[in-house]
Amino acid sequence: MTGLPDAAIVTQLAPPTERRRRGPGDRPLRRFVGLVVPPIALFIVLVLLVELVVVAAGIPPFVLASPSAIWDQLVQYAPQVLQATLVTGLNALIGLVIGAVIGVLLAIIASFIRAIDGMLVPIVAAVAVVPIVALAPVLYTMFGSTSEVARIIIASIAAFVPVFLNTLRGLRQVRPVHRDLMRSYAATPRQETRAVTIPSALPHFFTGLRIASSLAVISALVAEYFGGPRQGLGSAITTAAASSAYARAWAFVIGAILLGLVFFALTSLIERIASRHR
Amino acid sequence: MTTTTPATRRARRWRAVLWGVLGLVALAAVWELYKLVGPADGWLIGAREGVTGSGIRLLPRTSDQAMPHTWEMLGRAAEPVTRAPGALPLGVVVLLAALVSLGIAALGWLVGVVVGFALALLMLGFRIAERAVLPFVILSQTVPLIALAPLIRNWGSRLEFGAFSWESWMSVVIIASYLAFFPVAVGALRGLQSPEAADLDLMRSYAAGWWTTLFRLRLPASVPFLIPALRLAAANAVVGTVVAEISVGFSGGIGRLILETAVAASSDPAKPWSPILGAVLLGLVAAGFVALLAAFLSPFRRQETVA
Amino acid sequence: MSSQAPTAAPDPTPAADATEAVVARGVERIFHGAKGATVTALTGIELTVHDGEFVSLIGPSGCGKSTLLRLIADLDEPTAGDIRVFGRTARQARIDQAYGIAFQQAGLLPWRSVAANIELPLQLHGVGASARRARVAELVDLVGLADFAKHYPDQLSGGMQQRVAIARSLAESPRLLLMDEPFGALDEMTRERMQTELLRIRAETGAAVVFVTHSIPEAVYLSDRVVVMSPRPGRITDEIDVRLGEAAERGEDLREDTAFFEGVTAVREALHGPQASTAGAARGVDVR
């Protein structure tokens, strides 16, 4: 059995577990406040600090634009930011869906056919550590530099890798006692798959999907640096930076950050809904 | 009932390598098969009459110009990079560029690992730091921070402190390092916080201080969490380097080579594939280095198994 | 209590076999490890379990009791010998669903509620929805978890999870129950309660039971016959008839009965040899 690498499987987004003992004042509201207030406070402090430093020390905008200027630009160019976000977001979404579907299908095939497993896993593990975006320029040549297809392909590959690796791991991790149980029921392979294998694999699939959603957004955006149509966020950022409109460039960066957060929130929500009883 | 001996494990590894090679051959076979039986003009949808460049191409053309044969790709690496006299073979140029990028990525990785680990220690020591900073660090992995790359490029030409002038490769290192930094910060913190309450109580019963506990318990316990984080950081550093080289306009590395060869692909279709293979090699070497590191740290990866 | 030598080989004719719950003849299971190392988990096993009889398998770690149970359940195949369950091969018995099984880890499916877990075998074997509902309601009452039918396994204690596992094993009213240390992970108080429950259930269903355990008192309390095994190689060394009355007659106060203690002593002596009943205990068996 080929070992599965941890690189794409590790839940790099999972925060460490809390270890302190419960104190006397630990009510849910107090805990929520304790969780949400410090990061928000830090954010506000940082924004104020940056504003102060940039204005007071007269730091040129090409190093760091002042938050107030960024906000101005964000408000002024809101329609363009939204438009660019939608373009990049759509590429990422299509790529995520394609990559996830192919990832699941191939994982299922690989769990049944050892030969496919042996051939695919080393390749996918290698793809997980190499810069897939290096394919972008050549894909633009193959698929035309006026369409989004090349970017979608890159986003699909980026999404495929974690979904495939995690789902395959999940399909292989049925507990022995459950296997014995199914055997004792003389269950057919299809019955065993429906009753035990798929439910066991589902949480792993969702972990992979969560990782894949971030990677799809990042890849869709990075692919824009290598050429192709100029309507997405990446192109907008480079254009703005090239014409020295740094605050505007930062406004688009904020659009990119929001896009990433939306994808993350949506996939986490789906994961939460599907894992209500585990 | 079966135990694995070193011999069986080695045999198993060789078999895995063999299967992987078979997979690569299968991939090449699929490519060639498509070239053989695929539609000559690919699959274009929504093209309008008389308007060139319209429509969306869903399948590439099978011509040798759009899709060179796999052996042509490999063979091109042996040929000279340009038609200029005395030009080096493409393969050599690619390897040299990959080496430069490797150095930059390694530096970025190192910086990211050090800063990430330092931040993890900070969050370990001060709960308020953890609660304020950790959410940002976690969320930062979900957002495309590489979007900042074009902004950092402009530090290059403008920043000068006396004799020290900012070179463009330094911008690349910065970008690579902040992409490498986040997984390390999260992974290191998880690892440092991983010891069970029972183990912490044990150290406490020995009157061991915070730093002693850190070196004797938390650090060794963090290794299984650190290794995947370091691997992810290495992959991120490589991607960051390749992309940043293009954004920043750094010309010595493999990023620029990828772009240049792809732009000229119509006249030299097999050329872009050598730098791509170079970038793949770069990623594999980076992962291999972390694997080597992991092998050194293997005693710390053993876990207590309950009988 | 008298201890008997292992029973003589039973009548090999199929007609006689069909009434016996389990007949094992000359069963052997050898595991092959790396580089030709072999472990003889079981050798020369001769065992008959009569219809409706409660038989415990007891012995130290490595004596093969769990392996024997798995062979009877056709979760594993013997390297030699023959096992018949109600006159059929073990494999056929499994296909015909002639037994119900309960594992040491309850093995409940965490994504199914208690009711859904119990109805799993019924679902797999094509029982209609209303019939399933009715049977599940019966079983949930039988094990005393009627209020928890809609709960999920992670909301239940260990003892409750085991009760669900037992209910599940009874779902198709099998004539044979195979149980592999089902109470092993429970604390002593819960364990004693569950033992009493099991006796009650058995009295109501009349099933034969093959019960693997580490605990001498548990074996004596529950069984009609205790089969003592020992390791290296795994084999049956003794069988002890426990004449403490029908399952329906055994109650909580049996644990304080002199006859009960005599039974425990008999099994302990069979396990360790006569001198050990006064001296220290051997490893691997619970002598409380």
pLDDT-derived band at A4 (thresholds 50, 70, 90) equals: very low
Q: Which residues of C touch B3 (CB under 8 A)?
A: 33-34
Q: Which residues of C touch B5 (CB under 8 A)?
A: 34-35
By percentage, how much of chain A surpasses pLDDT 90? 36
User: Using one digit for the tens of pLDDT, what is the confidence trace for C65-113?
Assistant: 999 999 999 999 999 999 999 999 999 999 888 999 998 888 899 889 9
What would the mean pLDDT of B160-175 be, rounded to a whole number? Answer: 75
Task: List all residues 6 or more positions away from C69 whose beta carbon is below 8 Å from its beta carbon.
Answer: C57, C178, C180, C210, C212
Nearest to A185 among C70, C109, C121 (CB): C121
Q: What is the pLDDT of residue C194?
A: 86
ipTM of the complex in this document: 0.84
User: Using one digit for the tens of pLDDT, what is the confidence trace for C119-174?
Assistant: 999 999 889 999 999 999 999 988 889 999 999 998 998 889 999 999 999 998 89
Q: Which of the two residues, B194 and B12, has the higher pLDDT score?
A: B194
Q: What is the number of structural domains in chain A? A: 1
The full DSSP string for A32-53 is HHHHHHHHHHHHHHHHHHHHHH
* Structure tokens given for B115: 């800063």
Instruction: Judge contact between C162 and C181, C-beta under 8 A.
Output: no
What would the mean pLDDT of C253-262 be, rounded to a whole number? Answer: 84
Within a domain: residue A20? no
Rounded-to-integer distance, Cα B145 and Cα A254, Å? 10
Within a domain: residue A91? yes
Burial of C47 (0-12, 13-18, 19+ CB in 10 A): buried
Task: List all residues 6 or more positions away from B122 whose beta carbon is below 8 Å from its beta carbon.
Answer: B129, B133
pLDDT-derived band at A2 (thresholds 50, 70, 90) equals: very low
Q: Which residues of C touch A (CB under 8 A)?
A: 70, 73-75, 94-95, 97, 99, 101, 103, 105, 107, 109-111, 113, 120-121, 123-125, 152, 154
Instruction: Judge contact between C270 and C3, C-beta under 8 A.
Output: yes
Is the per-residue pLDDT at C8 higher than 80? no
Q: What is the pLDDT of residue A10?
A: 43
- Sign of the C-alpha dihedral computed for residues B33, B39, B45 and B48 taken in this order: positive
Edge to edge, the sheet with strand C38-50 lists C38-50, C20-32, C80-85, C88-89
pLDDT-derived band at C256 (thresholds 50, 70, 90) equals: confident
Q: Does the distance separating the beta carbons of B193 and A130 come in below 8 Å?
A: no
User: Using one digit for the tens of pLDDT, what is the confidence trace for C102-114?
Assistant: 988 888 998 899 9
Q: Which residues of C touch A178 (CB under 8 A)?
A: 107, 109
What would the mean pLDDT of A98-113 be, rounded to a whole number? Answer: 93
Is the per-residue pLDDT at B290 higher than 90? yes
Is residue B174 classed as helix, strand or coil in its secondary structure?
A: helix
Classify each residue of B126-142 as buried b or exposed e, where b means 16 or more C-beta atoms within 10 Å of its C-beta: eeebbbbbbbebbbbbb
Rounded-to-integer distance, Cα C59 and Cα C55, Å? 13
Q: Check if B2 contacts C (Cβ < 8 Å).
A: yes
CA atoms within 13 A on the CB side of C124: 27
Is the per-residue pLDDT at A129 higher than 80? yes
Q: Give the closest-approach CA distance of B92 to chain A in angstroms.
A: 18
Is the per-residue pLDDT at B156 higher than 70? no
Q: What is the pLDDT of residue C6?
A: 47
Domain ranges of chain C: 20-98+177-288, 108-173
Third-level CATH fold of B90-301:
MetI-like fold (1.10.3720)
What would the mean pLDDT of A54-59 be, rounded to a whole number? Answer: 78
What would the mean pLDDT of A6-22 be, rounded to a whole number? Answer: 45
Domain at A133, CATH number: 1.10.3720.10
User: Using one digit for the tens of pLDDT, what is the confidence trace for A59-79?
Assistant: 777 677 788 888 888 888 889
Is the per-residue pLDDT at A97 higher than 90? yes
Q: What is the pLDDT of residue C279?
A: 47
Q: What is the pLDDT of residue C285?
A: 62
pLDDT-derived band at B157 (thresholds 50, 70, 90) equals: low
What would the mean pLDDT of C258-269 be, rounded to a whole number? Answer: 89
Is the per-residue pLDDT at C204 higher than 70? yes
Distances (CA, A) of B166 to A224, B157, B170, B172: 26, 7, 7, 11
Nearest to B5 among C32, C34, C39 (CB): C34
Nearest to A35 among B16, B131, B197 (CB): B131
Q: Give the closest-approach CA distance of B84 to chain A in angstroms.
A: 24
Q: Which of the two residues, A32 and C238, has the higher pLDDT score?
A: C238
Q: Which of the two residues, B153 and C239, has the higher pLDDT score?
A: C239
Q: Does the distance separating the beta carbons of B262 and A249 come in below 8 Å?
A: no
By percentage, how much of chain B surpasses pLDDT 70? 90
AA letter at A150: A
A160: containing domain: 77-274
Rounded-to-integer distance, Cα C64 and Cα C73, Å? 14
Domain ranges of chain B: 6-42+56-67, 90-301
Rounded-to-integer distance, Cα A228 and Cα B221, Å? 47
Other beta carbons within 10 angstroms of residue B119's beta carbon come to 22
Q: Give the closest-approach CA distance of A37 to chain B in angstroms.
A: 8
Is the per-residue pLDDT at B285 higher than 90? yes
Instruction: Judge contact between C79 and C28, C-beta under 8 A.
Output: yes
By percentage, how much of chain C surpasses pLDDT 90? 49
- Beta strand C176-180 with C208-213 is parallel
User: Using one digit for the tens of pLDDT, what is the confidence trace for A157-168?
Assistant: 999 999 999 999
Neighbours of chain B (3+ CB pairs under 8 A): A, C
Is the per-residue pLDDT at A7 higher than 50? no
Q: Does the distance separating the beta carbons of B53 and A129 come in below 8 Å?
A: no
Q: What is the pLDDT of residue A90?
A: 94
Within a domain: residue A21? no
SS3 for B183-228 is HHHHHHHHHHCCCCHHHHHHHHHCCCCHHHHHHHHHHHHHHHHHHH
Q: What is the pLDDT of residue A242?
A: 81
Q: Which of the two residues, A27 and C207, has the higher pLDDT score?
A: C207
By percentage, how much of chain A surpasses pLDDT 70? 89
Third-level CATH fold of C20-98+177-288:
Rossmann fold (3.40.50)
User: In terms of CA atoms, which chain A residue is nearest residue B190?
Assistant: A16
Q: Give the closest-approach CA distance of C209 to chain B in angstroms.
A: 28
Q: What is the pLDDT of residue B264?
A: 82
Mean pLDDT of chain C: 85
Q: Which of the two residues, A200 and C276, has the higher pLDDT score?
A: A200
Instruction: Judge contact between C77 and C69, C-beta under 8 A.
Output: no
Classify each residue of A136-156 as buried b or exposed e, where b means 16 or more C-beta atoms within 10 Å of its C-beta: bbbbbbbbbeebbbbbbbbbb
Is the per-residue pLDDT at C277 higher than 70? no
User: In terms of CA atoms, which chain B residue is nearest residue A260?
Assistant: B143
User: Using one digit for the tens of pLDDT, what is the confidence trace for A244-254?
Assistant: 888 888 899 88
Within a domain: residue A45? no
What would the mean pLDDT of B242-266 be, rounded to a whole number? Answer: 85
User: In terms of CA atoms, which chain C residue is nearest residue B8?
Assistant: C34
Nearest to A218 among B23, B146, B246 (CB): B146
